[in-house]
Amino acid sequence: MLKTYSLLTFLFLSAGALEARSQSVPDTIIPSNHKLNVSALKPGLKQYLVYAQSAAKNKVLNLSVWVRDVKAGTHNGEAVITTTQHWYSNDTAAYRSVYSVNRGSDFMPIYHTETIGNHTRAYNWAPTRVTGADTLAANESKTFKLDLQKPCFNWNLDIETFEQLQLASGKSFAINFYDAGHGEPKYTLYKVVGSEVLTMLDNTKIDCWKLETGGKAPNGMDYTQTFWLSKKGHEFVKEEDKFGPNMRVKIKLPLTTPNIVANFNR
């Protein structure tokens, strides 16, 4: 009887260890392994209120609105996803416009350009290299070239990438992200740290997964980033970034929010 009990105990503990191990090993996310659920990314105009607080300036709140317009289309006969971004604040020097093209089958980046102030940088993106786009006259990165060891995702589209993750309790993801023109690609670890029910403006409840990453910023400051994504609709709802004593919050605005870009173009 003792031997039987010991065997059952061993099997139980081993199964638990295997389960814990399977949950702790992150899924590697690169375009070539097709682990994103691209169909979960919903086209449409999405607008976010972004505010930043500094502990050193306790009477100042930096506000901005980010607009991201996701569309399905075709490029050279291939299905693609385009994302157009506008970042607005009360400072024209901080305005940013971004345009990205990704392959529709696996969200592999194809093209990326961003303009900040009078500076424009544009890149052609392939699985093995990123190069400066020579078709744009104002491109300040025409001569840029970076060979890639592995295909990588566009870090400027982190929100859209998160909405395609197959989130579940205990899961973690090592995503190969690259911020075009800056350094080299690197794997960033994101963990599902739990779930939380958020109350929206109309008092409806949305059950969300909480996805988290953290580490040290280039200046040595500890940081954490937490993202709330709805379990039902794979929708990015909220983000909280903590950099030492400072904080930045991003909240998705309701669909009733007027289209800021359209109002500027009247």
12 falls within a domain = no
**Structural domain of residue 248, as residue ranges?**
27-264
Query: What confidence score (pLDDT) does residue 265 get?
Result: 80
Hey, CA dihedral for 181, 107, 255, 265, is it positive or negative?
Answer: positive
- pLDDT tens per residue, range 104-159: 999 999 999 999 999 999 999 999 999 999 999 999 999 999 999 999 999 999 99
- Render 54-70 in DSSP notation, one character per residue: ETTEEEEEEEEEEEEEE
Label residues 69-80 b or e (16+ Cβ within 10 Å = b). bbeeeeeeeeeb
Confidence at residue 7, expressed as pLDDT on a 0 to 100 scale: 40
pLDDT at 30: 96
Provide the β-strand partners of residue 48: 66, 252
Determine, yes or no, domain membership for 10: no
- Antiparallel, parallel or unpaired: β 236-243 and 222-230: antiparallel
Total domains in the fold of the chain: 1
Q: What is the mean pLDDT of residues 237-244?
A: 96
- Give me 93's structure tokens: 């020097």
Average pLDDT over residues 67-92: 96
68, part of any domain: yes
Q: Is residue 255 part of a domain?
A: yes
Residue 199 is predicted with a pLDDT of 93
**Residues 208-225: what's their mean pLDDT?**
93
Separate counts of helices (H) and strands (E) for the chain = 3, 16
From the CB of residue 4, how many other CB atoms can be counted at a distance below 10 Å?
8
- pTM, 2 dp: 0.89
**Has residue 104 been placed in a domain?**
yes
Report if residue 5 sits inside a domain: no
pLDDT at 247 exceeding the cut of 50: yes
Please report whether residue 237 resides in a domain. yes
Model confidence over 165-200: pLDDT tens digits?
Answer: 999 999 999 999 999 999 999 999 999 999 999 998
| 21 within some domain | no
Tens-place pLDDT, residues 11-51? 334 444 444 444 569 999 999 999 999 999 999 999 999 99
Q: Which pair of structure tokens corresponds to residue 225?
A: 């980033």
